[in-house]
Amino acid sequence: MATPERHVRLFRNGRNQALRIPREFELEGDEAIVRKEGGRLIVEPVRKGKLLELLAGLDPIEEPFPDVDEDLPPLDDASL
């Protein structure tokens, strides 16, 4: 299904150019990232806290982690 298009007007807000985003295109949150790719302007929402939410929902790891220091020489013997 194709994304619907809307004709919008550009306007000035002080020294910035702006546009009103129609309701059906509203983004989550109160911040966005804007970048230009060729003649296109790409606007993406900033997603905050999603990683912590994802990690909190994961099951704990039951198996022990390997000892990564096992084959290393003692710190006193290490040369820089």
The model carries a pTM of: 0.52
- What is the chain's pLDDT, residue by residue, as a tens digit (80 residues)? 667 889 999 999 999 999 999 999 999 888 999 999 999 999 999 888 778 888 888 999 899 988 888 788 777 755 65
pLDDT at 47: 80
CA 28 to centroid of chain Cα atoms: 12
Sequence length of the chain is: 80
Q: Is 72 exposed, middle or buried (0-12, 13-18, 19+ CB in 10 A)?
A: exposed
pLDDT at 77: 59
* Residue among 65, 67, 27, 31 at smallest CA distance from 48: 31
Sign of CA dihedral 25, 5, 8, 35: positive
pLDDT at 28: 87
